[in-house]
C-alpha cells in the first residue's frame, strides 16, 4: 500500500516536472500581458496630474501628440485645433508665483486651488498642468480636460519615445521596432554568407583534424557571455567604426549589427553544418558520377537537399539576434530615435527594456509600456521558435 502511494507520488512529481516548462511559459505570458495591457488603461497625461483650461475653451480633441506639440510651442494658437483665435498660454505649477506671492497662497498652499482658478478664469487661452492635489476643478470658469487613454496607435505607430516628458509622456515604439529590425537584418546579412560558408567548409571540405579543431572554437565563441561581447564592441569595434567611417561616435547600428552577427554565427554554423552533413552519400556520388565537380554538387544537390535545415538555422539565428540585450545595449548608442542610416545610433526593444526598467516607477505608464514591449518580444521569439521547429520538421523529400 505504501509502495503504491510512493509510486504515485513519484510519478506525479515527475509529471509535474515534465510539464513545468509549459507552466512557466504560461506564467510568463500571464504576467507580461497583465502588466502590459494595463498600459492601455492609462491616460495620456502624466499620472497624478491633470490639464485644466478656461471653461470657454471649446476644443475637445486631445491626445498625447497634441499635448506634446502644445507644450513644445509647436502649436501656438487654439484656432489650430479648431477653437477660437486665442493664443495658447502655457501654465505649469511654478508659474503661479508670477501671479501671487507666497503669503497669498497660504502657508500650506491651502489657497492655491482657489488662486489657480482665478488665473484660469482670467486667461482665456490658458492650459494649466497641475497636480490633482491642487485641482481647481470645483471652481467656476474652470474646465478639466478629459484626456483619452493611450491608444494602441500611439504605441505602435508613434514616432517618438519620450517616456519621461511632461505633461504628456510619449510612448511611440516605432524607433525601437525599426531599430530592432535594422540591426537584426544587417546582422543576418553579414552572418549568413559567413556562417553558411564555414558550415560548407566544415561539412564538405575540412580534413578531420581541422574539424576537430574548429568545432570547439565555434562552441567557445557561442559560450562567450553577451556582456563580454558588448564590452569588446564598446572598446574595440566602436572606435574602429568611428575611425573608418569618420563618424562623431562609433556607437551605431552598424557596430551593433557586426557584434550581433558574430553572436549569431555559432548558431547558424552548427545547425547548417548538421543539415548539410545529413545529405545521403549516394546522392553526392550520383552527382559526381555524372561529371559534376565537388562545388557543383554542393550548390546543385547538397544545399537544395538541406534547404529546410539551413532555413531553420537562419530563423534561429534571427531569433538570437532579435532577443540579444546586453551587447546591443552597450554598443548601439542610446538614442531612441528613428534610424535613417546604418551610421545612426539606435535602440532595440530588449535594450530599451534593460536600460529603462530600473527607473520606471512601478505600476506607472512607463513601467507598463516596458512590460508591453517585453510581451511583444516574447511573442516574436515564441513565433520564431515555433516557425523554426516547423521548418526543420518539414521534410521536403522522402527519405530513401
Partner 1 sequence: MNKRTKQKFAFFFFRLFSIIIVGILIAILGFIAVNGIKVINWEFLSSMPKEGMTEGGIFPAIVGTCYLIIGSMIFAVPLGVMAAIYTVEYAGNGKFVRFIRMMTNNLASIPSIVFGLFGMALFVKGLNFGDSIIAGSLTLGLLALPLIIRTSEEALKAVPESYRTGSYALGATKLQTIRKVVFPCALPNILTGIILSISRVSGETAPILFTVAAYFLPSLPDSIFSQAMALPYHLYVLATSGTDIEASRPMAYGTALVLVVIVLFFNLTATLLRQKLSKNMKNK
Partner 2 sequence: MIVTKNINFYYGDFQALKNITMSMDANTVTAFIGPSGCGKSTFLRLFNRMNDLIDGTRLEGECLIKGKNIYDKSINIDALRKDIGMVFQKPNPFPKSVFENVAYGLRVNGIKDKKFIADKVEETLKAAALFEEVKDKLHKSAFELSGGQQQRLCIARALAVEPSILLMDEPASALDPISTSKIEELIHELKKKYTIVIVTHNMQQAARVSDKTGFFMLGELIEYNDTKKMFLNPDKEITQNYITGRFG
> Cα–Cα distance between 210 and 76 in angstroms, integer?
71
Total Cβ atoms within 10 A of residue 113:
19
Quick one: cell of 246? 569618420
Contact flag: residue 325 with partner 1 (CB under 8 A): yes
Which of partner 1, partner 2, none has residue 228 at its interface (CB below 5 to 8 Å by kind)?
partner 1
Contact flag: residue 230 with partner 1 (CB under 8 A): yes
Total Cβ atoms within 10 A of residue 206:
16
Contact flag: residue 398 with partner 2 (CB under 8 A): yes
> Cα–Cα distance between 130 and 117 in angstroms, integer?
11
Closest to partner 1 by CB, 96 vs 192, is: 192
C-alpha separations of 217 from 211, 212, 222 in Å: 10, 9, 9
Contact flag: residue 24 with partner 2 (CB under 8 A): no
Given a contact cutoff of 8 angstroms between Cβ atoms, the answer to whether 136 and 113 are in contact is: yes
Among 218, 253, 268, 312, binds partner 1 (CB under 8 A): 218
Site residues (CB under 8 A) for partner 2, limited to 57-116: none
Site residues (CB under 8 A) for partner 2, limited to 244-303: 280, 282-283, 285-293, 296, 300-301
Contact flag: residue 370 with partner 1 (CB under 8 A): yes
Among 309, 323, 333, 345, binds partner 1 (CB under 8 A): 323
Longest dimension (CA), the chain: 101
Closest to partner 2 by CB, 153 vs 296, is: 296
Among 353, 365, 369, 391, binds partner 1 (CB under 8 A): 353
| Segment near partner 1 (CB under 8 A); pick from 101-109, 161-169, 180-188, 287-295 | 287-295
Q: Is the dihedral of CA 31, 37, 39, 41 positive or negative?
A: negative
Contact flag: residue 17 with partner 1 (CB under 8 A): yes
Q: Is the dihedral of CA 145, 150, 155, 160 positive or negative?
A: positive
Among 137, 177, 201, 288, binds partner 1 (CB under 8 A): 201
Closest to partner 2 by CB, 8 vs 295, is: 295
Torsion angle (degrees, nearest 10) of CA 197, 200, 201, 202:
120
Amino acid at each position: 500500500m505504501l509502495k503504491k502511494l510512493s509510486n504515485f507520488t513519484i510519478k506525479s512529481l515527475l509529471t509535474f516536472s515534465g510539464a513545468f516548462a509549459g507552466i512557466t511559459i504560461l506564467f510568463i505570458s500571464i504576467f507580461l500581458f497583465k502588466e502590459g495591457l494595463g498600459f492601455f488603461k492609462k491616460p495620456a497625461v502624466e499620472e497624478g496630474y491633470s490639464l485644466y483650461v478656461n471653461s470657454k475653451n471649446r476644443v475637445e480633441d486631445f491626445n498625447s501628440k497634441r499635448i506634446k506639440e502644445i507644450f513644445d510651442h509647436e502649436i501656438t494658437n487654439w484656432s489650430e485645433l479648431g477653437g477660437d483665435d486665442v493664443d495658447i498660454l502655457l501654465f505649469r505649477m511654478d508659474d503661479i508665483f508670477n501671479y501671487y506671492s507666497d503669503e497669498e497662497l497660504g502657508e500650506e498652499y491651502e489657497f492655491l486651488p482657489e488662486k489657480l482658478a482665478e488665473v484660469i478664469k482670467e486667461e482665456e487661452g490658458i492650459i494649466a498642468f497641475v497636480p490633482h492635489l491642487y485641482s481647481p476643478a470645483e471652481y467656476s470658469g474652470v474646465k478639466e480636460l478629459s484626456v483619452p487613454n493611450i491608444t494602441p496607435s500611439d504605441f505602435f505607430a508613434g514616432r517618438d519615445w519620450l517616456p519621461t516628458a511632461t505633461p504628456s509622456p510619449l510612448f511611440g515604439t516605432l524607433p525601437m521596432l525599426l531599430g530592432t529590425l535594422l540591426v537584426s537584418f544587417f546582422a543576418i546579412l553579414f552572418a549568413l554568407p559567413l556562417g553558411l560558408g564555414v558550415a560548407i567548409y566544415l561539412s564538405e571540405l575540412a580534413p578531420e583534424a581541422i574539424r576537430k579543431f574548429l568545432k570547439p572554437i565555434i562552441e567557445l565563441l557561442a559560450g562567450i557571455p553577451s556582456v563580454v561581447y558588448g564590452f569588446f564592441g564598446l572598446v574595440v569595434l566602436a572606435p574602429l567604426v568611428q575611425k573608418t567611417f569618420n563618424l562623431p561616435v562609433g556607437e551605431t547600428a552598424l557596430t551593433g549589427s557586426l557584434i550581433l552577427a558574430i553572436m549569431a554565427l555559432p548558431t547558424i554554423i552548427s545547425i547548417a553544418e548538421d543539415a548539410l552533413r545529413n545529405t545521403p552519400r549516394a546522392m553526392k556520388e550520383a552527382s559526381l558520377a555524372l561529371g559534376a565537380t565537388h562545388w557543383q554538387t554542393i550548390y546543385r544537390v547538397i544545399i537544395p537537399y538541406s534547404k529546410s535545415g539551413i532555413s531553420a538555422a537562419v530563423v534561429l539565428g534571427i531569433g538570437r539576434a532579435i532577443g540579444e540585450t546586453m551587447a546591443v545595449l552597450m554598443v548601439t548608442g542610446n538614442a531612441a530615435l528613428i534610424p535613417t542610416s546604418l551610421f545612426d545610433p539606435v535602440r532595440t526593444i530588449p535594450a530599451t527594456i534593460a536600460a529603462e526598467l530600473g527607473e520606471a516607477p512601478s505600476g506607472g505608464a512607463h513601467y507598463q509600456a516596458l512590460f508591453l514591449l517585453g510581451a511583444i518580444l516574447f511573442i516574436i521569439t515564441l513565433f520564431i521558435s515555433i516557425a523554426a521547429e516547423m521548418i526543420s520538421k518539414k521534410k521536403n523529400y522522402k527519405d530513401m
